Amino acid sequence: MKKTNIGVLISGSGTNLQSIIDKAEAGDLPVNVACVISDREKAYGLERAKKHGIPAVFVDRKGYALREAHEDAIIGVLDKYNVELIVCAGYMRLLTHHIISRYRNRIINIHPALLPSFPGTDGYGDAWRYGVKVSGCTVHFVDEGCDTGPIILQGINPVDNDDTFESFRERGLAIEHRVFPEAIKLYCEGRLKIEGRRVRILDKE
């Protein structure tokens, strides 16, 4: 299978990025991680990329008065590396219509809660403080809302009586690291069909 060029957007440590890199290098994920882009200079995910010989690019949002101008700089990097699919792996900045319209249905994100519950920047914390019995993660296409795009896959993380927040979150991250590459693989195989709010997963040909 031809490999899909992906560009990964990050803001932090990049554990989901690492799971994608590991599965790609193992031959389990048909992607070429063409570039990693961060809006934070000290994001450890950039170091992860460099260790694997992947172009790691810091695009400083402070250098641009408008979000659209910052996104134009990101688009320039994506174009340079011929990226087909944008993967948001802990990217903490909302994308605008400017970039979404250019890559419509070619941007996916992972969120650490079962959407539509607990959108926003603290999915684990919000779910834990609410006292849910079941949480998880959601991989979805990105639209102009905050964590509102059509859902591709969800992973389930039951909350045990003896859980601490740390154990709950650690188990959740392991689920993320499994589900996110699975969703990316489905995209690469051409098996995702968006029908309104639903994403239908097609059978293998």
Residues that are catalytic: 111
**How far, in Å, CA of 93 to CA of 96, rounded?**
9
Q: Where are the alpha helices (DSSP H) in 63-164?
A: 67-80, 97-100, 123-130
**How far, in Å, CA of 205 to CA of 197, rounded?**
24
Contact between 71 and 95 under an 8 Å Cβ cutoff? The reply is: yes
Q: Where are the alpha helices (DSSP H) in 26-164?
A: 44-51, 67-80, 97-100, 123-130
Q: Give residues with Cβ within 8 angstroms of 26, minimum separation 6.
A: none
Contact between 39 and 67 under an 8 Å Cβ cutoff? The reply is: no
Residue 31, strand partner residues: 4
